[in-house]
Structure 1
Amino acid sequence: MNFNFLSTPRIVCQAGGLVQLGNLMGELGVKRALLITDPGIVRCGFAAEALSALAASGIAAEVFDKVEADPPITVVEAAVAAARAMRADGVVGLGGGSSLDTAKVVAAAAATGQPVEDMIGVDRVSGRRMPLIQVPTTAGTGSEVTWVSVLTSASHEKKAVYAPQLLPDVALLDANLTLGMPRHITAATALDAMVHAIEAATSRTRKNPISDGLADKALVLLGQNLPRVLESPSDLDARQAMLLGATLAGMAFINASVGAIHALSYPLGTGFHVPHGHANALVAGPVLRFNLPIAEAEYARLAALLMPDRTFATTAAAALALIEEMERMLKTSGLKSRLSEVGVTDESIPGMADEVVTGIARLLANNPRDMTVADVAALYREVL
């Protein structure tokens, strides 16, 4: 029962809630805001809506729309320069995880002048960030309520900034912003959030009663509503539930931590440009099966939450059903389900496995079961 739980202080969950952005920023004392997003969000018109909401409250704003997937440090540095050039005193992150991760680092670096490279690692952010509101447009990463930003170095390595200062002041959850999401992105981001919930619930390092409760509710919301959204993409209630589920999963995993699924997914993102949620979904089945001897009871408990209408003869049957359901969701989502389909070859696997064990050991330490390089390589080959 000894734990330390950190959380975003305010969550606004409301379809159509983007109109409140200006008022929320004004309450934080912001006069000049930098809106950080990507070109796709600009094309959707969401950036214009956000600017209109800010202007209605008398807040001057500019847009930085050069965010890329797996944001390169150079792009983050360009956003910091943009914030300083306009003398911003507040930041809005609008978009998927990459935009939100960028916004967190910019809010800190632009306020203090600390170089982005110096922030990489655990608790290396100095000083206080400027006010920050995060507005997700996907129901997946949970970045709107976490204190980690994952960036990409010039050598294409994943680099993480972990610091409590990255927690935003407000997470604004507006399901209207997810209505136009393509089916494959809807599925990938939802599976990402479900992985967050499962790994948080089974972490062997920092799981606690609060993170467990959040993970459980997240899995219920996501599992019940993803089929509804895939069948009826305009179902706003289901999309709002998924958005909340992803946020709850983010709150759970940032406190409990994630494990080997995330560790194995990272080389797929850096080496083969597989989106993070899709990468997690690709390796989830093999990792969950590997963990089964240790995590059977917990997987069985989660299966009962995810599939409340089903009965299972044994704990082992329930645990296996959870894994099979995750694999089924991947296959029916329209996403590619084999590593070979995203460019991975057998020759790639030794290097990927070595990267996981030597470079991402911090995540393997949270996994229910220890893994060797040979174990990781074997798991990749299961879905090659």
Structure 2
Amino acid sequence: MNSKLGPFNFDTAAGILVEWGGAQRLGTSLSEWFVQRKLLIVTDRFLHQSGLLDPAKASLQSAGFEITVFDDVVADPPEDVMTACTTMAKDAGSDIVMGFGGGSSMDVAKLAAVMISSDQALADMYGIGKVTGARVPLVQVPTTAGTGSEVTNITILTTGATTKMGIVARQLYADRVLLDAQLTIGLPPLQTAATGIDAMVHAIEAFTGRLRKNPLSDLLAKEALRLMAANLITACDDGQNRQAREAMLLGATLAGQAFSNSPVGAVHALAYPLGGHFHLPHGLTNALMLGPVLRHNMGVAGPLYAELTDVVLRASSASVEARATAFVEFMEDLMNCSGAPRRLRDCNVPEDSLPRLAEDAMLQTRLLMNNPVEVTQADALAMYRQEF
């Protein structure tokens, strides 16, 4: 890193509470933080019906909160889900919003908190800094250790059959975040692996970003990677392990803080078309494309990979080139051990779709511009073919 410290900006959620079992005391916590009492909870149907939300609801109701639950969130939420959520919230007079679940639920909650009190059209919000006005209070409670959405200022919505668009705005940062790793105990191994790898990709891409990498994002990315590299396989193999679950959840949040300030790059740019066309989980698509992108970036990002090797392997005595290579190999070995599918063909992605995927990846200009190395359409196609 350049020894001269240039100007940089760093933003994150206003407050974070880390507490095992904290969801069972949410009523007390929210009563201390906010005066509003008409609470909209944004979640998904499976999580709601599973009973995982019940202790939190009971605590909130005991504390005097009037609860409305929107549980129609789906993966890669489309615009009509966002509209339905906002309509329900307005009809109920909701004056505070809580996202409870994975990244999709928390993304919808962010925007609902804005749209409840705003007449701005959804179509006018897409892009960076386009949201106008304030929002109602926003609380986030993640139930997976991966997206980091609880501490980011980004909402991603599906806008067409295979396309997604992002809304990036300061208003989307939460007022409060609860990290209760007990909520992640029920995650099955494959979901644990996919979400954990997603978070590790956030850390790696934040650390190697071309445009807004800074000392604070670097520190967070390194610690996030250290925590997750040491605990991912344990969390997959022993889902009841409290220490591993707590480390993964904290690591995912730290990675979220890092990439919210130093954005992700080509791994995500190549992952999004896979999710759009084939509805594959976001963490899995990141895992599939990480190896090829790391190798593509090696010529420029190698010294940074070497630094990350020192975090996960303690191999600082080797040369920069050897350490950088060791990091790529370490990440690929970790993904192999996680049990996640490792080839596009294993995920029913047909070979004749690869040119279209490469074409669509080029539309992710917001992400590609932050990658340390230029990615052309031919490069993208070559990387898809590597993983086929």
Q: Secondary structure at the match of 2:117?
A: helix
Pairing 1:28-43 to 2, within 5 Å after superposition: 28-43=34-49
Q: In 2, are the aligned partners of 1:179 and 1:234 still within 8 Å (CA)?
A: yes
TM-score relative to the length of structure 2: 0.96
* Residue 179 of structure 2 corresponds to residue 170 of structure 1: no
* Residue 151 of structure 2 corresponds to residue 148 of structure 1: no
Pairing 1:181-220 to 2, within 5 Å after superposition: 181-220=187-226
Q: In 2, are the aligned partners of 1:105 and 1:116 still within 8 Å (CA)?
A: no
Pairing 1:316-335 to 2, within 5 Å after superposition: 316-335=321-340
Q: Secondary structure at the match of 1:382?
A: helix
Equivalent position amino acid for 2:210 in 1: R
* Residue 383 of structure 2 corresponds to residue 379 of structure 1: yes
Q: Distance in 1 between matches of 2:301 and 2:162?
A: 33
Q: In 2, are the aligned partners of 1:11 and 1:170 still within 8 Å (CA)?
A: yes
- Report the Cα offset of residue 155 of structure 1: 3.4
1:52 alignment counterpart? 58
Equivalent position amino acid for 1:256 in 2: S
Q: In 2, are the aligned partners of 1:22 and 1:53 still within 8 Å (CA)?
A: yes
One of 19, 24, 41 as aligned partner of 2:24: 19
Per-residue CA deviations over 1:95-145 (Å, capped at 9, x if unaligned) read 000000010011101121323222111111111111110000000000000
* Residue 279 of structure 2 corresponds to residue 273 of structure 1: yes
Pairing 1:43-192 to 2, within 5 Å after superposition: 43-192=49-198
Moved over 4 A (4+): none
1:253 alignment counterpart? 259
Q: In 1, are the aligned partners of 2:190 and 2:236 still within 8 Å (CA)?
A: no
- Report the Cα offset of residue 90 of structure 1: 0.5
TM-score relative to the length of structure 1: 0.97
Q: Distance in 1 between matches of 2:121 and 2:364?
A: 23
2:3 alignment counterpart? none
Name stretches of at least 5 consecutive residues in structure 2 with no aligned partner.
Answer: 1-5
Q: In 1, are the aligned partners of 2:161 and 2:276 still within 8 Å (CA)?
A: no
Q: Distance in 2 between matches of 1:115 and 1:32?
A: 24
Q: Secondary structure at the match of 1:20?
A: helix
* Residue 361 of structure 2 corresponds to residue 356 of structure 1: yes
Q: Secondary structure at the match of 1:289?
A: helix
Q: Distance in 2 between matches of 1:11 and 1:136?
A: 12
- Report the Cα offset of residue 228 of structure 1: 2.0
One of 302, 314, 320 as aligned partner of 2:319: 314
Q: Secondary structure at the match of 2:359?
A: helix
Q: Distance in 2 between matches of 1:121 and 1:231?
A: 40
2:234 alignment counterpart? 228
Equivalent position amino acid for 1:120 in 2: Y
Q: Secondary structure at the match of 1:127?
A: coil
- Report the Cα offset of residue 311 of structure 1: 6.1
Name stretches of at least 5 consecutive residues in structure 1 with no aligned partner.
Answer: none
Per-residue CA deviations over 1:199-255 (Å, capped at 9, x if unaligned) read 000001001000000001100111111122123211112111110100000000010
Q: In 1, are the aligned partners of 2:102 and 2:142 still within 8 Å (CA)?
A: yes
Q: In 1, are the aligned partners of 2:189 and 2:237 still within 8 Å (CA)?
A: no
One of 305, 310, 324 as aligned partner of 1:299: 305
Identical pairs, percent: 45
Q: Distance in 2 between matches of 1:160 and 1:22?
A: 32
- Report the Cα offset of residue 312 of structure 1: 5.6
Greater Cα shift, 312-321 or 168-177: 312-321
CA-atom RMSD in angstroms: 1.2
One of 367, 370, 373 as aligned partner of 2:374: 370
Equivalent position amino acid for 1:20 in 2: R
Per-residue CA deviations over 1:307-352 (Å, capped at 9, x if unaligned) read 23x5663221211111112111222222111011222222211111
User: How many residue pairs align between the two structures?
Assistant: 382
* Residue 336 of structure 2 corresponds to residue 341 of structure 1: no
* Residue 292 of structure 2 corresponds to residue 286 of structure 1: yes
Per-residue CA deviations over 1:148-202 (Å, capped at 9, x if unaligned) read 0011013331110100000000110000100000000001111000000000000
Q: Distance in 2 between matches of 1:242 and 1:107?
A: 27
Q: Distance in 2 between matches of 1:15 and 1:47?
A: 15
Greater Cα shift, 344-353 or 134-143: 344-353
Q: Distance in 1 between matches of 2:291 and 2:185?
A: 28
